[in-house]
Structures are given as C-alpha cells and as structure tokens.
Amino acid sequence: MSGRLRGKVAIVAGAGSIGPGWGNGKATATVFAREGAKVICADLNLAAAEETAAFIQNEGGQAFAVQTDVTSNEAVADLVGRTLGRYGRVDILDNNVGIAEVGGVVELPEEVWDRVFKVNLTGAFLAMKHVIPVMQRQFEQSGEGGSIINISSIASIRYTGVPYASYSATKAALNQLTRTTAVQYAPQKIRVNAILPGLMKTPMVEHSAGLAQAYGEGDVEAMWAARDAQVPMGHMGEAWDVAYAALFLASDEARYVTGLELVVDGGITLKYG
Ligand SMILES: NC(=O)c1ccc[n+]([C@@H]2O[C@H](COP(=O)([O-])OP(=O)(O)OC[C@H]3O[C@@H](n4cnc5c(N)ncnc54)[C@H](O)[C@@H]3O)[C@@H](O)[C@H]2O)c1
C-alpha cells in the first residue's frame, strides 16, 4: 500500500459481485482500501457488499457495507447520510452499478428498456445528486471538492458485436452526463470522469445468459474464447484493470483531469474503427 488515497472517504456503488470472482466494483473497492481510503461498499445485494467489506477488513483496511438500491432516491439519500454519519465526508464516488440486457430495439420489451435506464442512468444521476452538495460544502470549507467516476462501457461509442440497445444508449447518455456535470462543477474542484471498460472477464458476463447466447450459443467457455479473440491484446481485461484506472481518477494525481472518457480495452475500440 502506497497511500495514494490516504485520508479519503469513498463510496463504491455496486461494490459487490453477482457471482464468485472479481467484479469491477469489488476490485475497485479493494484497491481504494489498499491505497488508504475508507470505503463504503454499497450494493442492492447486501451479502455481496458485506463480502467485499469483509475482504477489505481482513486485509487490514477500513470498510463497511450498506444495502442500497441506487434507483431509489430515498435509499441513495440514506447511503450518503450514513456515510457522513460514520466518516463525515465523501471524497470519491464510484458509480459502478450496471446491468446488460441483450436485445435490439425490435425484440427488447419496453419494461426492460425502462429498467436498464433506471439502473444504469438514473442510479448514477441520483448518486451524483446527493454527493455533489456534500463535495460543494467540502470545497467551501477547505477548497477540496471530490472525484466522481462513472463506469460506462465501450458499448457507448461502438457496436461491440452484441445488440443491446438499452445498454449502449444508457452508457452513451452516462458519458454526456459525465461531461456536462464535469463542466458545471469544475469551479468547485469536483471532477467527474468516465471509464469505458472493454471486454472484461467478470461474473456479470459469466452469468448473463443473453451474452453467453449471443457469443457462444450458451457455452460460457466458447464465449470467453470468442471475446479473447476480438481483442488486439489477445485477451479480455480483468476487473483489476478497471480498478487501477479508477484509482488514478480518484487520486490527486488526476487533479487536473475532468470530463474524460478513459478507455480501458486492450485496443479493441481502435480495431472497430
Ligand atoms: N464486465 C464487463 O465486460 C463490462 C464491460 C464494460 C462495462 N462494464 C460495466 O462495469 C460495471 C460493473 O460490471 P461488473 O461486471 O463488475 O458487474 P457485477 O454485476 O459483478 O457488479 C455490479 C453490482 O451492481 C449491483 N447492482 C445491480 N443493480 C443494483 C441496484 N439497483 N442498486 C445497487 N446495486 C445494484 C449488483 O448486485 C452487483 O453486485 C457495470 O456498470 C458494467 O456496465 C462491465
């Protein structure tokens, strides 16, 4: 641990993992704690959030778990309130919650379209809505705002070979929400950046029947092979790759970086052209 986030308080929304292994939020919460942050592990799935918090505590880090549905204004207000009650400030918000439902505009049911928007976009909106006023107060008191990281996807800027209209549209909207929010709050030293992961090998992908069907006719091993073959580097990324990108954006090393779309994809978007 080199203490790149020493003294900072971080909320990671979606800090669990939907299955065994390392999702992006779980890895990010762990890396933040290893670098000295106090981490609030928020997730709809309390057991998953507790697993991440326990892992951090076992390593000697500081973390606690909170059950939060990011689509609920009240739940997000409660999350921020509990964070302030425990640690008194919020320096970092990592909006990692996201779901992917496969389907183009013709086959996608309207209620699925609406749910993906609620989870992927409204969730990040609500989290920023409640955290930014805290960061504004911090700026007024000490000149320090905070860092917000929105986890988008390369699906926001490219067709990745899988038709998921709602996923792509929500992530594209998240990019623009990131840019406009970054400009609006830059004077108060609140930085807002996006990470666009490429093809990552995470539990979310493993347990998505739609993705396994789209890539490998339901065979997960065939899906991994197909995804590896698409990437110029020859393999998918890992949750840790997203976590280390988030660490940079969260840290003071990125103090002059805002409104960025940081692509973490082994070169695949270059190949799509
Ligand atoms: N895995 C990939 O290949 C990939 C690629 C690009 C972008 N991403 C993005 O990275 C992020 C995380 O992906 P992951 O693979 O780690 O997924 P994951 O499913 O393992 O983790 C997401 C967590 O969010 C939680 N969650 C879902 N709905 C919630 C809600 N309403 N409120 C609170 N928590 C909720 C889940 O319980 C889960 O623990 C997502 O935003 C995803 O779109 C992933």
**Is the model's pLDDT at 167 over the cut of 60?**
yes
Q: Which atom belonging to ligand 1 lies closest to the Cα atom of 48?
A: 39
Q: Which atom belonging to ligand 1 lies closest to the Cα atom of 98?
A: 41
Q: Which atom belonging to ligand 1 lies closest to the Cα atom of 120?
A: 41
Domains and CATH numbers, the chain: 9-264 (3.40.50.720)
Pull the structure tokens for residue 17: 């993992």
Rounded distance from Cα 124 to ligand 1 centre (Å): 12
Instruction: Round the average pLDDT of the chain to a whole number and report it.
Output: 96
Q: pLDDT tens digits for 183-223?
A: 999 999 999 999 999 999 999 898 887 888 888 788 999 99
84 vs 124: CA distance, rounded Å: 19
pLDDT for 272 = 79
- Alpha carbons within 13 angstroms on the beta-carbon side of residue 57 total 11
Query: Per-residue pLDDT averaged across 6-32, rounded?
Result: 96
231 vs 246: CA distance, rounded Å: 21
Rounded distance from Cα 139 to ligand 1 centre (Å): 30
Question: Which residues are bridge partners to 103 per DSSP?
Answer: 164
pLDDT for 143 = 98
**164: helix, strand or coil:** strand
Residues with CB under 6 A from ligand 1: 14, 16-18, 23-25, 43-45, 48, 68-71, 96-99, 119, 123, 151, 153, 197, 199-200, 202-205, 239
**60: helix, strand or coil:** coil
Higher-confidence residue of 215 and 238: namely 238
Q: pLDDT tens digits for 103-114?
A: 999 999 999 999
Q: pLDDT tens digits for 99-144?
A: 999 999 999 999 999 999 999 999 999 999 999 999 999 999 999 9
232 vs 229: CA distance, rounded Å: 8
Q: Name residue, tokens 């990324």.
A: 237
Pull the structure tokens for residue 260: 């960025």
Q: pLDDT tens digits for 20-78?
A: 889 999 999 999 999 999 999 999 999 999 999 999 999 999 999 999 999 999 999 99
Rounded distance from Cα 12 to ligand 1 centre (Å): 11
Write the residue with the smallest CA distance to atom 27 of ligand 1: 97
> Would you name the residues annotated as active-site residues?
167
Residues with Cβ < 8 Å from 129, sequence gap 6 or more?
A: 73, 76
pLDDT for 19 = 80
pLDDT for 2 = 83
Rounded distance from Cα 36 to ligand 1 centre (Å): 24
Please report which confidence band the pLDDT of residue 154 belongs to, taking 50, 70 and 90 as the band edges: very high
pLDDT for 216 = 79
Within 10 A of 2 (CB to CB), how many other CB atoms are there? Answer: 8
Among residues 62, 81, 51, 47, which one has the least CA distance to residue 8? Answer: 62
pLDDT for 210 = 83
Q: What amino acid occupies position 33?
A: A
- Alpha carbons within 13 angstroms on the beta-carbon side of residue 185 total 31
Please report which confidence band the pLDDT of residue 273 belongs to, taking 50, 70 and 90 as the band edges: low
Pull the structure tokens for residue 182: 């970054």
